[in-house]
Chain A
Amino acid sequence: DAGVIQSPRHEVTEMGQEVTLRCKPISGHDYLFWYRQTMMRGLELLIYFNNNVPIDDSGMPEDRFSAKMPNASFSTLKIQPSEPRDSAVYFCASSLFTNTEAFFGQGTRLTVV
């Protein structure tokens, strides 16, 4: 397996634009996590899915953020409209169970100008 794949690796967008981040988890993993990493707040869990169903989205900062998992091999994190304070590295991770190793993608570095 190629691991968790995220795209794009880098995204630069203007304030107010819609941004969509994509993730392909490891095949067979039932859990998918979206994290955001910033210097100020470190790693924050935004939302996680179990078998494509959102389980806990309490970490999603605002209604501007939304995440979907239409099938077991694909998830998106959307920000609309984007703001400069959304600039961060967004990681997707997947695992067999919640208490086993989470495998991380290489992240998407988002810059909102």
Chain B
Amino acid sequence: AQSVTQPDIHITVSEGASLELRCNYSYGATPYLFWYVQSPGQGLQLLLKYFSGDTLVQGIKGFEAEFKRSQSSFNLRKPSVHWSDAAEYFCAVWNNNAGNMLTFGGGTRLMVKP
């Protein structure tokens, strides 16, 4: 069965510090990979996606993510976190062997200290 794992449930970083949120998936082939952000009381917004090509993808709000096939990972990074980045972040995977649907990880809640 497919799965998406976000090992960190909560992360706290200081404003201005760098950030890395982890995401691991389990599939045989290369899936399509997504990162979404959810602010309190809001729906999910797409930050970035990877389908093929360059394994380092740039997204909105200064985020980037790197696909590493050997590690089955798609970690999200940001060099300098802003207080407005406090939110919950979801990694998601689409695979056509999984009934054509997006599977989400459990999410990582990011808190930003002033």
What residues make up the interface of A, taking CB atoms closer than 8 Å to B?
4, 33, 42-43, 45, 48, 55-56, 58, 91, 93, 98-99, 101-107
A-B pairs with beta carbons under 8 Å apart, 16 shown:
A33-B102, A42-B104, A42-B105, A43-B107, A48-B101, A56-B99, A56-B100, A93-B44, A98-B96, A99-B51, A99-B96, A101-B34, A102-B46, A102-B102, A105-B43, A106-B41
Q: Which 4 A-B pairs have the closest CB atoms?
A: A104-B43, A43-B104, A98-B100, A104-B44
**Interface SS of chain A:** strand
Interface residues on B, range: 20 to 34
- CA A29 to CA B110, docked complex, whole Å: 31
* Partner of B43 from A48, A58, A91, A98 at Cβ < 8 Å: A91
A5 to chain B: closest CB distance in Å?
11
**B residues near A93, Cβ cutoff 8 Å:** 43-44
